[in-house]
Structure 1
Amino acid sequence: MGKTADVTIGQKTIIDTLQKMEAEVPEEVLSDERTRLEDAGLVMNSPYVAALRPDRKVKLILSFDFSTHPFMTVNQAAKYCEDTGIPFPHVNIPEEDKDQPKDFYVFKSENTPTVIHIPLFNMVNCKGDVAKWRQRYPTFKFGYNREMMDELIRVSGLNVANNKNRILQEISDVCK
């Protein structure tokens, strides 16, 4: 189970039960008498569970994966959905892509949302040197300096810029 926090209507703060941190909460979040929030990062490092509630009728998920293992979250989501009967596309990753991922994957199946999956470090934006980038920016390193942050922002921005037309095409396809 993920990290949870309770919110009481009328309060301007949220108390994080694990970290004991306080943060401002927008009024629009405080619509019910009691709301239960969950940090998806502790469940499968991505908010698939919340997004795939049946009442949301999700048709497209943009999955930007920042994990050490570029397909961990999408594979975990597929397994979770299979185990719980939630519609999710079949995830098939070629063996040769597991350590040297491409920069864009689309997973589709009948009567499921489309999932666009973009690993942070890939053969395109890392110019073929994915292992070096993963080593420099491990998942559990806390505290990057300004230069490293700028580099991560640039690389993640390339993932969108390089795939803009493909992303727009998938959005168009699900809107038909």
Structure 2
Amino acid sequence: MWQDSKLDQCPNSLTPQEKELFLVDAGYFINTSCPPLIRKERNVDVILSLDYNLLETRFNSIEQMGNYCLDQDIPFPEIALTEEDRENPKECYIFEDKENPEAPIILHFPLVNNSFREYKKPGIRRTSADTAKGEVDFTSLNSPYRMTSLTYTEEEFNKLINLSDYNIQNNRELILQALQTAVERRKASRKQKQLQST
């Protein structure tokens, strides 16, 4: 499965002499939950990648994932970003390898607060009483979302969840487009297999 892992050297005997098994958050390796999904046997069509990294590191996890897949010969789309993308990120990016239908389509949602400031739901503007709920501070030194902050107040947590929810809802059409592409790929793949078997 994971050729670069020491676990492959002795499967089913991780720590036979130890009473306890200690696990490490996958974020230390690649700060994303995608690795279990990308094994070739899983045959995943679409991945929604929610990136909770801040500022200059906001694309690191998806780029690391791409590099890992390249090293492991796992189909994965190229993560091509411009300097503009890095400086002024959008709410959602689609990464797709049109030449390789085995590579999943990635919908990547970096942690950005673009239109959420002004809209509480897609198409529904915030009222003056509601404005504070749209202010999510990712940039200041006092930001509650910095790496050194390990706990959130209920309000801070809700802002983060509501922002992520909004960004997904606001990019509904891109998600539907990716799903449609995945369905078309599956149909084409089945058709090709049928032709080859006859």
TM-score, normalized by length of structure 1? 0.72
Structure 2, unpaired ranges of 5+ = 8-19, 119-134, 185-198
Q: Deviations over 1:33-74 (max 9, x none)?
A: xxxxx7422221112221111100111111111112221111
Question: How many Å apart are 1:82 and its aligned residue?
Answer: 1.1
**Partners of 2:69 and 2:117 in 1: how far apart?**
31
Is the partner of 2:32 in helix, strand or coil?
coil
**Partners of 1:145 and 1:123 in 2: how far apart?**
23
2:40 is aligned to 54
Change (3 A) 1:96 1:108: same
1:117 is aligned to 108
Is the partner of 1:62 in helix, strand or coil?
strand
> Where do residues 1-176 of structure 1 align in structure 2 (5 Å cutoff)?
17-18=22-23, 39-68=25-54, 69-109=57-97, 110-111=99-100, 112-125=103-116, 132-135=137-140, 136=143, 137-176=145-184
Question: How many Å apart are 1:168 and its aligned residue?
Answer: 1.5
What CA RMSD, in Å, does the superposition of the two structures yield over aligned residues? 2.7
Question: Bigger shift: 137-146 or 106-115?
Answer: 137-146
**Partners of 2:60 and 2:136 in 1: how far apart?**
16
**Partners of 2:43 and 2:27 in 1: how far apart?**
22
Q: Deviations over 1:97-130 (max 9, x none)?
A: 2132101100111221111101122433357xx9
**Partners of 1:140 and 1:99 in 2: how far apart?**
23
TM-score, normalized by length of structure 2? 0.65
Amino acid at match of 1:98: R
> Which 4+ runs in 1 deviate beyond 4 A?
none
Structure with the higher fraction of residues in helix conformation:
2
Aligned residues: 145
